[in-house]
Amino acid sequence: MQQSKQQRQRIYFTGVGGQGTLTATDLLAQAAIIAGIDAVAGEVHGMAQRGGVVESFLLLGGWRSPRLDHGEADVLLGFEPLETLRGLPYLRSGGIVFSSSDPLPPLAVSLGQVPYPTTQAVEDAAKKVAGQIRFIPCRTLGLEAGALPSGNTVLLAAACAAHAFPFEVDALEAAIKTRLPQKLQASNLKALELGKAFAAS
């Protein structure tokens, strides 16, 4: 689904504290800016403690109001399956979901406050709202790339390669090279290639 650079787009990110959700938001925002697209990023809820929920958003294409409400996101990027499930109310009908399939149980699950859903349950719920869904073993591929956190880049690259955004993977590659410390670039560039390959599979 290739989109023009002029088309506005709203992207919702969700994960758990310590995963690097906000770093991923920043990377994608930089990729958009490199591609010449206006980008506004923000947090739905403030940064959570490690293990708690982290939600952020990215608005592309010149939005005046830096906010995102339920039913407005064109794309949902979930870095943890349960948080993907919880974030579905933000997705518009027919929107796109790219989610990790590798569980990282958040604090509420660890404390026994909520049960953990099966991958099938998350996928079934997503199918009721989304028009396009991809689940990716991000932690597994992150390890293959050399660092668990680079699994986030796998997800971003797969979504870029699948034309979920109005820019291409090369903009994300440029963002990695300009925004991440040198010591983190090799694993993230490998993760980018793994994400591209997954999108093509």
Q: What is the DSSP letter of 149?
A: G
Q: How far apart are CA 29 and CA 25, in angstroms?
A: 6
Report helix, strand or coil for 16: strand
pTM value? 0.91
- If the chain, 201 residues long, is cut into consecutive pieces of 10 residues, what is the mean pLDDT of each piece? 61 86 93 95 63 85 83 96 94 98 80 85 96 96 95 97 96 97 96 97 90
Domain 9-200 top-level CATH class: alpha beta
